[in-house]
Amino acid sequence: MSATQLAALARTSDPRTMLRRFLALDAVVTGTNGVAYLALSGPLGDLLGVGSGLLLALGAFLTVFAAGVGLLASRPHPASLPVRAVVEANLTWAAVSVVALALWLTPSTAGAVWTVLQAFTVASFAVLQHFALRARQDTSS
């Protein structure tokens, strides 16, 4: 991904601001998803074809994870190691989602589509965060 493409997506050419914006977007989307799983685990479980207990557990995890990512995004200069941890966690989440769909879960059609879409979204966050972190490191060298 070029610096121009990254800057266009982040609506800024400042690498630090890019990184913070991609982290903040991740926190908002993840937090919204987590709260929805917590508040609507029954209806969403029925729609997606998964147990409400699984959605409650995932909702709790996602809400805590989102808070951590949001805290990191609020820092003027997010440290590289925690950002890398977020990138790795996002890549792991995306991979485990696809593996779970293939091996363990038997969701409805809506649930299968949702699982693939959220895995793609989370992987996209990881890619954007990785490139923004690299851009920040390149400019500080």
State the alpha helices, DSSP H only, in the chain.
3-10, 15-39, 41-48, 52-74, 80-103, 109-140
pLDDT(141) > 60: no
Higher-confidence residue of 13 and 124: namely 124
Whose tokens are 């929805």? That residue is 36
Q: Look at the block and give the residue holding tokens 């792991």.
A: 92
Q: Closest Cα to residue 129, out of 30, 32, 36, 61?
A: 30
The distance of Cα 26 from the centroid of its chain, to the nearest Å, equals 5
The token duo for 22 is: 């991609």
pLDDT grade for 127, boundaries at 50, 70 and 90: very high
**Maximum Cα interatomic distance, the chain, rounded to a whole number of Å:** 51
What are 65-98's pLDDT values in tens digits? Answer: 999 999 999 999 999 999 999 999 999 999 999 9
Higher pLDDT residue, 11 or 123?
Answer: 123
CA–CA dist 18, 136 (Å, integer): 9
Spatial neighbors of 114 by CB under 8 A, at least 6 apart, are: 48, 107
Residue 140 confidence (pLDDT) above 70: no
Q: Is the pLDDT of residue 122 over 80?
A: yes
Give the Cα separation of 86 and 49 in Å (integer).
28
Q: What is the pLDDT of residues 6-63, one digit of tens each?
A: 566 666 778 889 999 999 999 999 999 999 999 999 999 999 999 999 999 999 999 9
